[in-house]
Amino acid sequence: MFCIIEINLLVFIATIIFLILLLFSFVVFLIHHYQNKQFENNKKIEVLKAAHDNNILKAQIQVQELTFQYISREIHDNIGQKLSLTKLQLNTLLLLADSNLKSRLEDVTHLLTESLNDLRDLSRSMSSDFIAENGFVKTIENEIEQLNKYGQFDLKLTITGEAIYMTTEKEVVLFRIIQETLNNIIKHAEATQIHIILHYTNSNLLIEIKDNGKGFNLNTQSEGNGLNNIRNRARSLDGLAEFESSKGKGTNLKINIPINDTE
């Protein structure tokens, strides 16, 4: 009798332990399931946030491009035309002026002609239509030609690999990256030599822009608008922009952009 009671007690205890273990396993399962769900939800939120941020970034770039287009057309259609009319009037005055005044008017006309050419170059560099008509490489060559004519910089372009087709939208953003970089070098680097390298692979475009300027300390340099614009524009193309620099040793910008477009 005692053995039966003892056995029943052991069975009862074993059953209780089993139920506790079952309940514990169920609780662990629920916690694990909740954590997985939370992780999946967090990933979805991150993806949505990244997509939202990328959409905002692309919208900002589109607004900037529309602003460039507006300014370019204003330069060409308004300011350029007025200066051209002024030049025509000066040419008319040249025919009527005496020798002393004629010399001065010729100097003014020459300066006006140079100003008109500079404005046309500026208008072209700001216009995405020029990029669409001439292509990415030709637009960079034009920009280099305009900067080299001032004699303050020695710019050169090297292209390796076989060029791959890119959409006009992508070419415009890439050109703006190069344009922004050159602008930063001219304003801050005190460089005399600038080398732009375009290396095409089967699926990527690697852009490298080197200068022999004063450089800066990456650990202490605050992220200015110029550097942020470059990083953001590269990110809008699912690319990456990385800076290498140190004081007195110039700066090297490396940009890696996927270009195997499927759109």
178, 196 Cβ separation under 8 angstroms: yes
Q: Is the pLDDT of residue 107 over 70?
A: yes
Rounded to the nearest 10°, the torsion over CA 36, 37, 38, 40 is 90
More confidently predicted of 207 and 9: 207
54, 234 Cβ separation under 8 angstroms: no
- Confidence class of residue 210 from pLDDT cuts 50, 70 and 90? very high
If we measure between CA atoms, which residue out of 213, 216, 209 comes closest to residue 241?
Answer: 209
DSSP-derived 3-state class of residue 149: coil
Burial of 149 (0-12, 13-18, 19+ CB in 10 A): exposed
Query: Quick one: angle between helices 136-148 and 168-184, nearest 10?
Result: 20
Dmax of the chain from CA atoms? 141
More confidently predicted of 175 and 116: 175
Q: Is the pLDDT of residue 224 over 70?
A: no
Kindly state the tokens that stand for 256: 């890696």
More confidently predicted of 42 and 170: 170
Q: How far is CA 20 from the centre of its chain?
A: 60
Burial of 88 (0-12, 13-18, 19+ CB in 10 A): exposed
Distance (Å, whole) CA 214 – CA 190? 6
Most confident of 81-85, 219-223, 235-239: 235-239
Can you give the pLDDT at residue 124? 74
Q: Is the pLDDT of residue 48 over 80?
A: no
Can you give the pLDDT at residue 263? 44
| DSSP sequence for 8-58 | HHHHHHHHHHHHHHHHHHHHHHHHHHHHHHHHHHHHHHHHHHHHHHHHHHH
Can you give the pLDDT at residue 194? 95
Kindly state the tokens that stand for 223: 């992220």
Can you give the pLDDT at residue 234? 92
If we measure between CA atoms, which residue out of 117, 134, 123 comes closest to residue 72?
Answer: 123
CATH code for 136-263?
3.30.565.10
Kindly state the tokens that stand for 7: 């056995």
Q: Is the pLDDT of residue 5 over 70?
A: no
Ranking 75-79, 103-107, 190-194 by mean pLDDT, the lowest is: 75-79
Distance (Å, whole) CA 119 – CA 67? 17
Q: Can you give the residue ranges of every domain in the chain?
A: 15-126, 136-263
Can you give the pLDDT at residue 262? 43
| DSSP sequence for 241-254 | EEEEE-TTS-EEEE
Can you give the pLDDT at residue 200? 94
Distance (Å, whole) CA 238 – CA 10? 65
Beta strand 193-200 with 240-245 is unpaired
What is the pLDDT of the chain when averaged over all its residues? 79
Q: What percent of the chain has pLDDT over 90?
A: 23
Beta strand 251-258 with 204-211 is antiparallel
Can you give the pLDDT at residue 9? 64
Q: Is the pLDDT of residue 144 over 80?
A: yes
